Structure 1
Amino acid sequence: MRRHAVAVVVLAVTLGVLVPWAGRLPRAAAARLVGIDELGPTRSAVFVDSPAMGRTVQVQVLHPPGGGERPTYYLLDGLDPGDRQSTWTNATDAERFFADKNVNVVLPIGGQASYYTDWQSDDPRFGRYRWETFLTRELPPLIDSAFDGNGVNGIGGLSMGGIAAFVLAARNPELYTAVAGYSACPDLGLAQGAMLFSIANRGGNPGNMWGPPGGPAWAQHDPALLADRLRGKTIYLSTGTGIPGPHETEIKPQLPENIFFGGPIEAAVDGCVSAFEQRLRALSIPARVDHSAVGTHSWSYWQDTLHVSWGALAPALGA
């Protein structure tokens, strides 16, 4: 869709154009698509007036150059996402990789240390975070209307975004057919300390997210406790061991501390992924889990596993 068609999309959504899953989700206050800028033949910046977030939110969409119905893959960023583009397009070949694939890839912009969730309280550092409502209620009908979405959705992400992908999939099982995590720890019982530290380390108040550690909201968001809601979905997880591998000498726009701590971080993630894998097996929920013998917490490995994961995700999405 092009910029001159924005008014048509806004009118269609305002009049209540139905999307395939609309009747199964509670209605949120109507978000409004306010602009689309073409960044290239297969990439567009989309601006949404979000009542939940109380501001205009940008997402970028990778899409085929032509028309035709297609599924949508929501691909979430890490702890320090870019404010002008997703790090997926800044640090990997995601735009080129998806250019010839019949899928919309939605990349949220911003959301530092947000875990892409609805925070209980506005934060002095980050402001209003209502990412779950935005990503699961407000945004999908707009994306489907503007980019020929067919109502079939998957969600994935790396590190923070991978945790969030599993949280959102477990809390909104009717919305997603597939979920992926690249170096992500979906067991919040094991990830909680790192999550609290990461928010505080970026200047936020961790208590503003889901309240005090061990409170009921943490259990209500824990994919390990909600794992049965993932039954029937295609599940993909990947992790390295923290042992340096072939990509350590590459320069990538990644977290500076990952150059020094990417090994220990990935080793901890690997243990968490193994624990979550055992949880799924105990529930007889199938999942593809790729444990690499090497690899640190860094972008070149996430580019590799993005490519590999598509072999599992594409059939689930019908892409």
Structure 2
Amino acid sequence: MLFRFLGSTVVAALVSLGLGAYVPVAAEPGGDVAWVVSTRVLSPTHSVVDVYSPAMGRVVSNDVLRPAHGGSLPTLYLLNGALGNEDGVGWINDSQVRSFFADKDVTVVLPTGGRLGFYTDWRAPDPLLGSYQWQTYLTSELPAVIDGEFGGNGRNAVAGLSMSGGPALDLAIQAPGLYRAAASFSGCPAPSHPLVAAGMSAMIAAGLSDPLNMWGLPGSTDWRLHDPALNAAKLRGTAVYVGAARGAFGAVDRIPEGAIPPFGGAVVEALVYRCTEILVGTLRAADAPATVSLRTTGAHTWALFEDQLREAWSTTIAPALGTR
């Protein structure tokens, strides 16, 4: 199998990045409900809240952005990409989300973790990743903690980029009524398509985990149940934004003059464009309204993701949350 073939060299590389084997954290006695372990205030608008997840048996760090004036606000759960910001690559360090949301009346929660896990509940604990129950954490554990800690008003939205784009829509499907809006930025919301399933399985295997431990064999019932393109009708009543570009570099990517463009990102973006087209077709067939942003230029860059976020905020997320 691929994850065996990669061997100890890749394991050593993962450990060097701080992505080593999972070590469980003991809960407090009777700790069957998620609870706040600690809060670190980094600025008047930025905190890091560590939350113990009983479902996963670990502490999850969550960046929390709020306007300085505070108050009871809606919440946007903003998910990171392939490595879950565990390598320091994510919204906080690679975009301007802190300044963008500083004057917005919303609490933004950005969990760290979930690398190569597609923010879903896996079938069994993984030797390297531990218990992956991200759907449970994001839908059943974290919202209650955030609302209790910050006085949330019960209006929620979820959004993700790249690896987490499709899962953001899937979370809205799996937890009906929890999110008023859901958005995918250059994600692939058609996971059960044979080529997409093969690519996702290869990603998981490259991380030294068993891809069958997520939803079983590609094409099986669980793959179909977690496919937004096959469950588009269940997104009726949710404000949906989906965005992707054809993969041609453009002004939106803000590539510095003289820099070598990330051509791998161009290929990835072209692929997720096709994934997004599949979803758009099924949304229209299901008469499920959505804001669709299919661009002729743009590659898989943070500048594109950020531009999509800004567009989704003004057209879809803020109106659904009743905020500005």
Name the TM tier (shorter chain): 0.7 to 0.9
What secondary structure is seen at the aligned counterpart in 2 of 1:70? coil
Alignment of 1:150-189 (within 5 A): 150-189=153-192
Q: Tell me which residue corresponds to 2:275.
A: 272
What secondary structure is seen at the aligned counterpart in 1 of 2:168? helix
Count of residue correspondences: 287
User: 2:240 matched to 1:204?
Assistant: no
User: 2:103 matched to 1:110?
Assistant: no
User: Following TM superposition, by how much is the alpha carbon of 1:83 offset from its aligned partner in structure 2, in angstroms?
Assistant: 2.5
Q: Tell me which residue corresponds to 1:221.
A: 226
Query: How far apart in 1 are the matches of 2:53 and 2:301?
Result: 32
Query: How far apart in 1 are the matches of 2:103 and 2:254?
Result: 29
Q: TM-score, normalised by structure 1?
A: 0.86
The one of 71, 74, 79 aligned to 2:74: 71
Q: Tell me which residue corresponds to 2:235.
A: 230
Query: How far apart in 2 are the matches of 1:80 and 1:61?
Result: 19
User: 2:294 matched to 1:296?
Assistant: no
Matched AA of 2:263: F
Query: How far apart in 1 are the matches of 2:256 and 2:192?
Result: 33
User: Following TM superposition, by how much is the alpha carbon of 1:318 offset from its aligned partner in structure 2, in angstroms?
Assistant: 0.9
Matched AA of 2:136: T
Q: Tell me which residue corresponds to 1:317.
A: 321
The one of 42, 61, 83 aligned to 1:58: 61
Q: Deviations over 1:261-299 (max 9, x none)?
A: 111111111111111101010111111111111011111
Contiguous gaps of at least 5 residues in structure 1 = 1-27
Alignment of 1:28-107 (within 5 A): 29-83=32-86, 87-107=90-110
Query: How far apart in 1 are the matches of 2:68 and 2:291?
Result: 31
User: 2:199 matched to 1:194?
Assistant: yes
Q: Tell me which residue corresponds to 1:249.
A: 255
Contact 2:77 2:108 (8 Å CA) reproduced: yes
Give the percent of matched residue pairs that are identical in Structure 1 and Structure 2. 43
Q: Tell me which residue corresponds to 2:20.
A: none
User: Following TM superposition, by how much is the alpha carbon of 1:248 offset from its aligned partner in structure 2, in angstroms?
Assistant: 5.8
The one of 274, 278, 281 aligned to 2:284: 281
Q: TM-score, normalised by structure 2?
A: 0.85
Q: CA RMSD in A?
A: 1.8
Q: Deviations over 1:136-162 (max 9, x none)?
A: 001101101111210110000001111
Q: Deviations over 1:183-231 (max 9, x none)?
A: 0111122331221111112222111111111222112211122221110
Query: How far apart in 2 are the matches of 1:81 and 1:56?
Result: 14
Contact 2:63 2:110 (8 Å CA) reproduced: yes
Relative distance call for 1:45 and 1:133 in structure 2 (3 A) is same
Alignment of 1:123-142 (within 5 A): 123-142=126-145
Q: Tell me which residue corresponds to 1:260.
A: 263
Q: Tell me which residue corresponds to 2:3.
A: none
Relative distance call for 1:248 and 1:97 in structure 2 (3 A) is closer
Contact 2:232 2:279 (8 Å CA) reproduced: no
Q: Tell me which residue corresponds to 1:23.
A: none
Contact 2:158 2:183 (8 Å CA) reproduced: yes
Query: How far apart in 2 are the matches of 1:134 and 1:43?
Result: 21
Query: How far apart in 2 are the matches of 1:91 and 1:56?
Result: 24
